[in-house]
Amino acid sequence: MALADLKRLERNEDGIATVLGILKQRFGERFLTGQSIREQHAHTMTYIPAQLPDGVAYPKRTEEVQEIVRVCAEHRVPVIAFGTGSSLEGQVNAPGGGISVDVSGMDRVLSVNAEDLDCTIEPGVTREALNTHLRDTGLFFPIDPGANASLGGMAATRASGTNAVRYGTMRENVLSLTAVMADGRAVTTAKRAKKTSAGYDLTRLMIGSEGTLGIITSLTLKLQGIPQAIAGGVCPFPSVEAACNAVITTIQMGIPVARIELVNQLQMKAMIAYSGLDYPESPCLFLEFHGTDAGVAEQSELFSEIASEHGGGPFLWTRETEERAKLWKARHDAYHSAKALRPGTQAVATDVCVPISRLAECIVETERDIAEIGLIAPIVGHVGDGNFHVSPLIDASNPKEIEVLEAFIARLNERAIAMDGTCTGEHGIGQGKMKFLELEIGTGVDVMRAIKRALDPDNIMNPGKIFGF
Amino acid sequence: MALADLKRLERNEDGIATVLGILKQRFGERFLTGQSIREQHAHTMTYIPAQLPDGVAYPKRTEEVQEIVRVCAEHRVPVIAFGTGSSLEGQVNAPGGGISVDVSGMDRVLSVNAEDLDCTIEPGVTREALNTHLRDTGLFFPIDPGANASLGGMAATRASGTNAVRYGTMRENVLSLTAVMADGRAVTTAKRAKKTSAGYDLTRLMIGSEGTLGIITSLTLKLQGIPQAIAGGVCPFPSVEAACNAVITTIQMGIPVARIELVNQLQMKAMIAYSGLDYPESPCLFLEFHGTDAGVAEQSELFSEIASEHGGGPFLWTRETEERAKLWKARHDAYHSAKALRPGTQAVATDVCVPISRLAECIVETERDIAEIGLIAPIVGHVGDGNFHVSPLIDASNPKEIEVLEAFIARLNERAIAMDGTCTGEHGIGQGKMKFLELEIGTGVDVMRAIKRALDPDNIMNPGKIFGF
């Protein structure tokens, strides 16, 4: 969306004033309206301008979220769920004002069922906090979107990240959730059974709904056993195509790779400069394998053969934790090293996802587009899933640069959709991708709107997102 | 539901008569109203009485399904999707009459994208037909519910089966689908990208909706590479508890078992008698491992150790196809051998699914219940997922036996739900499990009803199922 077009919804001033009074009275110190707090709860990532909520509530329990939603429902005031604020497409902005419901204080791990490989948590638990909590159980929660996001937010945006290729996304890793719906009722979507055919899949409906249908107040997550052995390494390729073809072969052979990350030439150059590493300045795949000692060795050797068949290599890999950390250091430094390519600018992370057969073509065309318009925009990708990120470095205070950026993002999204892909593999629609959704899903958007109207007839749950109403 | 309670919906006689005339005119030989055809398209499995549709249409394309639905929508006549008729809970019954839409003639494989490990098919393609079609590609579609069901029907009931423990259910294996909605519009839910965060998950909403929201007219499915090696075998245990504990350890250690099936003592006895096999008459696990030669050997050895830690064994396993077939023969004969326990009766297959920590307890209590009421009811289970089937052998013409059966099924479902499980892991709700859904999901059922009303306001899509309206 062009900056100038960023929609403001009509503000219900009377309703907002009434709700502010009621919530202040009810929540006292746990309801704040100061400017800086409200700024922290509006969109802070990338270039989409902030649109501040009118107040921020800090509930501690589902029942308190219900109270807040009921008050807002009665007075038709928007309710915007907030976890850690790491969403990237304006999901936490408040285009019609309203109340930000900050669930960061709902951070209890309610139960860990080690035998069932699941746990039930409150939505403010972050993925790192959960894995710290699980440390002594031999289990872990695999989804890793990079940021230390809250798990409620990760579910709401259908997040994934580097090891989705093996473990799936939030879509596959939530067994059940509780959400407070627009009328204030709390709904638990399923029991704890690993499979169910009992009625509509409300769990999956809420995952990815970006707070527009309800506020998630608890989650039952699948856990994984920590693998006996982890191997990892880095493999250079002569071209993005060669790297992508190696990925296709790897996936097709059924090698259960845990992470397979593409870093393009510009990003490698940035990382080499930033981290002082002795890598070739060519596209690389960063890989990780999980399994038994023998299993990860076998997988690594198989990949090594695949790489050389595609002109890549040598594949340097190891099972040693420290050595792995060294090999992967460059990948972990991607964000900061990219910013150093153009100091003082902002990295605008955008993502698309295409069938892997189209991945090389999509990245190559995107690199050409970047070169032609003179952007500095490194690329990293969760390529096992056909998902990649482009991070143009821009001066967000310069309207000219924003214009160029938005035209570039539009072409990128249209390219991905034309290749039978999606305008977002893991960041969600929010405000930033609204105009591409209809192009992608067509009449399906009407079905989404009908569901939204049925479940939130007064449009109080995170209005102005996904469909723009 | 007690037989006497099986709900008939009010028939719209005028509308039905009009629609019969229009469809006969339009589809000629591809629209049939004979008694025997209509009987074949009502519920034929288990004990739920048949409720016949008024006519059966055989469309060949999405556009023809749209035509049929538009005619029915205009005259408010029920539309019931039909694949192969292998559903088990009365999903294809027509309690208010109407038109059965038999998609078995929509059986084209539209495309196979080997590089992307996906394919797009029409809904009448059966899983065996698909795997035959894929034979030379090195790929296969893993979901195996036992019956040679149509893939449209498998999606509609969120089916799974023996190897869901490794490959997931229909929920995880459909990338996108096209469905004709109640107003006759065709909606395609997603593109072909492996991951997406673009709006509500309409794909998952349709999967498991049992034809109550729309008729699926195409599916894009994930495929898997055929594993280099398959190992399989059988392992006896002194008790169901011991077998379940071995399963828990296996899953918790992250051994990527492809199938892990429990057969209880009665079922083993039946199979030994039926197939003349030299197995011990005690609970057994039937296992299959997929991977590399070294991988499946390692997995088999690891499982063997786990089994003996839990008092089980010996675990007889092999990589040879013929030997595996021999070992698994008994499992494949389960249905027929069970029926031989009480010749002339009907096996009523019912399923529940619980967290695996409760599985032993749930099965043991169920076995006790079976013994106490004197049923003959063998048990087999997809125990890696906590899912098991009980198949009471009954004389369906005897109301007394039906009464005993229904009371037993009610206790089984209540037991599973009380253990944080579900009244159906893979058969769906249909008519047979309606009364347990509210007990399981509570207020969530209201959300399902609101979605149904929003997307099918005149209630023409498979009415009388899931919620009973």
CA distance A138 to A135: 7
CA distance B61 to B107: 10
Instruction: Output the pLDDT for position B340.
Output: 92
Instruction: Output the pLDDT for position A1.
Output: 46
CB A113 within 8 A of CB B357: yes
* Sequence letter at residue B351: D
Rounded-to-10 torsion of CA A88, A93, A95, A96: 150
Go through chain B and tell me how many residues it has: 469
| Average confidence (pLDDT) over B138-162 | 95
Contact partners, residue B5, CB within 8 Å, separation at least 6 = none
Q: Which two tokens stand for residue B377?
A: 């009811």
- What pLDDT, in 10s, does the model give residues B163-205? 999 999 999 999 999 999 999 999 999 999 999 999 999 999 9
Q: How confident is the model at residue B43 (pLDDT cuts 50, 70, 90)?
A: confident
Question: Among residues A451, A358, A369, A454, which one has the least CA distance to residue A409?
Answer: A369
Task: Verify whether the Cβ–Cβ distance B199 to A205 is below 8 Å.
Answer: no
Closest chain A residue to B421 measured between Cα atoms? A193
Question: Does residue B207 belong to the interface with chain A, where contact is any CB pair within 8 Å?
Answer: yes
The phi, psi pair for B37, rounded to 5°, reads -65, -45
Parallel, antiparallel, or unpaired for β A214-222 and A118-121? antiparallel
Query: Which three-class secondary structure state does DSSP give residue B427?
Result: coil
Query: Which three-class secondary structure state does DSSP give residue B297?
Result: helix
Instruction: Output the pLDDT for position A4.
Output: 43
Of A199, A385, A427, the CB nearest to B437: A199
Task: Report A:126-165 residues touching B (Cβ under 8 A).
Answer: 138, 157-160, 164
- What pLDDT, in 10s, does the model give residues B281-297? 999 999 999 988 888 99
Instruction: Output the pLDDT for position B4.
Output: 42
Task: Verify whether the Cβ–Cβ distance A424 to B196 is below 8 Å.
Answer: yes
Of A225, A421, A426, the CB nearest to B197: A426
Q: Which two tokens stand for residue B32?
A: 């049939």
Answer positive or negative: Cα dihedral of B141, B145, B148, B153: negative
Please provide the CATH number assigned to the domain covering A343-428.
Answer: 3.30.70.2740
Q: How remote is the C-alpha of B233 from its chain's centroid?
A: 25
Instruction: Output the pLDDT for position B99.
Output: 98
Parallel, antiparallel, or unpaired for β A99-102 and A79-82? parallel
Q: Which two tokens stand for residue A116?
A: 């069932």
Of A118, A169, A225, the CB nearest to B195: A169
Measured between beta carbons, the chain A residues lying within 8 angstroms of B443 are 185-187
CB B202 within 8 A of CB B190: yes
Could you tell me how many CB contacts below 8 A there are between chain A and chain B? 291
- What pLDDT, in 10s, does the model give residues B24-39? 999 999 999 999 999 9
Go through chain A and tell me how many residues it has: 469
Task: Verify whether the Cβ–Cβ distance A252 to B448 is below 8 Å.
Answer: no
pLDDT at B155 over 90: yes
Query: Which three-class secondary structure state does DSSP give residue A369?
Result: helix
CA distance B176 to B193: 9
Would you tell me how many other CB atoms lie within 10 Å of the CB of residue A400?
9
Summary mean pLDDT of chain B: 95
pLDDT above 70 covers a percentage of chain B that reads 99
CA distance A137 to B87: 40
Please provide the CATH number assigned to the domain covering A107-225.
Answer: 3.30.465.10
CA distance A460 to A212: 8
Measured between beta carbons, the chain A residues lying within 8 angstroms of B201 are 158, 171, 201, 204-205, 207-208
**How far is the first Cα of chain A from the last one, in angstroms, to the nearest whole number?**
15
Which of these CATH numbers, 3.30.70.20, 3.20.20.100, 3.40.47.10, 3.30.70.2740, describes B342-430?
Answer: 3.30.70.2740
Please provide the CATH number assigned to the domain covering A229-337.
Answer: 3.30.70.2190
- What pLDDT, in 10s, does the model give residues B310-362? 999 999 999 999 988 888 877 888 888 999 999 999 999 999 999 999 999 99
β-partners of residue A187 are A179
DSSP per-residue letters across B344-401: T-EE--EEEE--GGGHHHHHHHHHHHHHHHT----EEEEGGGTEEEE--EE-TT-HHH
Do the two domains A229-337 and A343-428 of this chain adopt the same fold? yes
Instruction: Output the pLDDT for position B6.
Output: 67
Task: Verify whether the Cβ–Cβ distance A195 to B433 is below 8 Å.
Answer: no
Task: Report A:44-103 residues touching B (Cβ under 8 A).
Answer: none
Task: Verify whether the Cβ–Cβ distance B197 to A209 is below 8 Å.
Answer: no
Instruction: Output the pLDDT for position A328.
Output: 82
Measured between beta carbons, the chain A residues lying within 8 angstroms of B188 are 441-442, 444
Task: Verify whether the Cβ–Cβ distance A433 to B181 is below 8 Å.
Answer: no
Of A164, A202, A447, the CB nearest to B447: A202
How many CA atoms, within 13 angstroms, populate the side-chain half-sphere of residue B9?
26
Closest chain A residue to B117 measured between Cα atoms? A252
How far does the CA of residue B34 sit from the closest CA of chain A (Å)? Answer: 32
CA distance B3 to B58: 31
Q: Percentages helix, strand, coil for chain A, rounded to the nearest 5?
A: 40, 20, 40
CA distance A81 to A56: 10
| Average confidence (pLDDT) over B462-467 | 95
pLDDT above 90 covers a percentage of chain B that reads 87
How far does the CA of residue B143 sit from the closest CA of chain A (Å)? Answer: 13
The pLDDT profile of chain A, 469 residues, written as one tens digit per residue, is 454 456 789 999 999 999 999 999 999 999 999 999 999 999 877 788 999 999 999 999 999 999 999 999 999 999 999 999 999 999 999 999 999 999 999 999 999 999 999 999 999 999 999 999 999 999 999 999 988 999 999 999 999 999 999 999 999 999 999 999 999 999 999 999 999 999 999 999 999 999 999 999 999 999 998 998 999 999 999 999 999 999 999 998 888 899 999 999 999 999 999 988 888 899 999 999 998 888 899 999 999 999 999 999 999 999 999 988 888 877 888 888 999 999 999 999 999 999 999 999 999 999 999 999 999 999 999 999 999 999 999 998 999 999 999 999 999 999 999 999 999 999 999 999 999 999 999 999 999 999 999 999 999 999 999 987 7
Is A3-104+450-455 a CATH 3.30.43.10 domain?
Answer: yes
Instruction: Output the pLDDT for position B2.
Output: 55
Question: Does residue A184 belong to the interface with chain B, where contact is any CB pair within 8 Å?
Answer: no
Residue-range domain boundaries for chain B: 3-104+450-455, 107-225, 229-337, 342-430
pLDDT at B1 over 50: no
Parallel, antiparallel, or unpaired for β A350-353 and A387-390? antiparallel
β-partners of residue B381 are B262, B388
Q: Which two tokens stand for residue A359?
A: 């991945």
Task: Verify whether the Cβ–Cβ distance A386 to B195 is below 8 Å.
Answer: yes
DSSP per-residue letters across A234-255: EEE-SSHHHHHHHHHHHHHTT-
Instruction: Output the pLDDT for position B326.
Output: 83
CA distance A241 to A363: 9
* Sequence letter at residue B110: L
A387: left (phi over 0), alpha (psi -120 to 50) or beta: beta
pLDDT at B430 over 90: yes
Question: Among residues B181, B208, B75, B97, which one has the least CA distance to residue B456?
Answer: B181
Instruction: Output the pLDDT for position B275.
Output: 85
Instruction: Output the pLDDT for position A168.
Output: 96
| Average confidence (pLDDT) over B65-85 | 98
- What pLDDT, in 10s, does the model give residues A280-308? 899 999 999 998 888 899 999 999 999 99
Closest chain B residue to A468 measured between Cα atoms? B199
Task: Report B:99-118 residues touching A (Cβ under 8 A).
Answer: 113-118
| Sheet strands side by side (includes B55-57) | B31-32, B55-57, B99-102, B79-82
Rounded-to-10 torsion of CA B110, B182, A172, B388: -90
C-alpha pair distances (Å), B239 with each of A323, B284, B464: 46, 9, 41
Rounded-to-10 torsion of CA A391, A395, A397, A402: -50
Measured between beta carbons, the chain A residues lying within 8 angstroms of B387 are 193-195
Instruction: Output the pLDDT for position A331.
Output: 82
